[in-house]
């Protein structure tokens, strides 16, 4: 089942930040660098896209909707809050 995602933005501000990774140089490349663009992309890629289940004391809960929590500075994803 598809997950309802509140707070999606077509083009968040962080997408205007250029990648500063030095490709081919292990000492200066992601994930060792502080590349804001790559970190923001990884945060967005790690967000769930499908409904999911987890177990708590009272039993199993299915999360069908999440709301994104964003950084106001560059609109990157800080986390999300789920609802069943």
CA distance 26 to 35: 14
Cβ atoms of 8 and 69 within 8 Å: the answer is: no
pLDDT at 28 exceeding the cut of 70:
no
3-state DSSP call for residue 7? coil
**Model confidence at 60: pLDDT above 80:** yes
Number of domains in the chain: 1
Q: What is the pLDDT of residues 4-24, one digit of tens each?
A: 999 999 999 999 999 887 666
Residue range of the domain that includes 28: 4-83
């Amino acid at each position: 089942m598809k997950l309802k995602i509140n707070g999606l933005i077509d083009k968040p501000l962080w997408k205007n930040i250029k990648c500063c990774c030095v490709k081919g140089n292990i000492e200066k490349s992601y994930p060792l660098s502080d590349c804001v663009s790559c970190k923001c992309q990884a945060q967005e890629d790690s967000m769930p896209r499908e409904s999911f289940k987890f177990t708590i004391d009272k039993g199993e809960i299915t999360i069908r909707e999440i709301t994104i929590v964003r950084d106001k500075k560059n609109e990157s994803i800080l986390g999300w809050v789920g609802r069943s």
